[in-house]
Amino acid sequence: KRLILVGPPGSGKGTQSPIIKDEYCLCHLATGDMLRAAVAAKTPLGIKAKEAMDKGELVSDDLVVSIIDEAMKKPSCHKGFILDGFPRTVVQAQKLDEMLEKQGVKVDKVLNFAIDDAILEERITGRWIHPGSGRSYHTKFAPPKVPGVDDVTGEPLIQRKDDTAAVLKSRLEAFHKQTEPVIDYYSKKSIVAHLHAEKAPKEVTSEVEKLLLICS
């Protein structure tokens, strides 16, 4: 299966991805996670991306397309993938189509994490992540066993620099202006499925499972 997850910041893409990935033997490619790793490692790419990310703006199409192009070559992606946070502009969607066309494959399903903006601030400001794995927690909705510590590795959790109410505003603006047109782009191909992303994590997971069974 080749899946795309689209939704505003905090809609649950990163929470659902690891679960779906394991159930369907897919690789999980999250451009946000890859960019944050590049920023932390201070690679040339990370240095270029940092400013836009800190402001909650999108990084350039060329940069993220090159990251995805490279990442999709991994053997673990050959059976299928979950793209989390990509494509985020219509240009990125067109580039992705070109890449997949060369391989003779196409996107099977686009999962739209539909949710009201008003819910997102609480989700974003309460989030804690384990930088090594990308696992995310929430002080209220998904607390770790020990506060501030990753359940699996025992390593410390951190907050994302862009997870403030102020930066969230810019991220939402970018979503509505630049990413919502991506949903229209795929709607024309009749491959978009809408999820009720405001529901509890487990309910969202079962919505995804039902969809993937029906539409395999």
Query: Does the active-site annotation cover 13?
Result: yes
Residues in the chain: 216
Beta-carbon neighbour count of residue 13 at 10 Å? 23
**Range in contact with Zn ion (rule: CB under 5 A) among 14-22, 69-77, 103-111, 204-212:** 14-22
Catalytically annotated residue among 1, 48, 55, 160: 160
Least distance CB 79 / ligand AP5 (angstroms): 22
CA 116 from centre of chain: 17
176 binds, among ligand AP5, Zn ion, none (CB under 5 to 8 A by kind): Zn ion
Q: How far is the CB of 72 from Zn ion (least distance, A)?
A: 18
The active-site residue, picked from 50, 109, 127, 135, is: 127
CB atoms within 10 A of CB 144: 17
What is the identity of the amino acid at 68?
I
Using rule CB under 5 A, residue 134 touches Zn ion = no
Task: Judge whether 1 counts as a catalytic residue.
Answer: no
Q: 138 to each of 56, 133, 146, 191, how far by Cα in Å?
A: 20, 16, 12, 31
Instruction: Summarize as ranges the residues that interact with Zn ion (CB under 5 A).
Output: 14, 176
Give catalytic residues, as residue numbers.
13, 88, 127, 160, 171
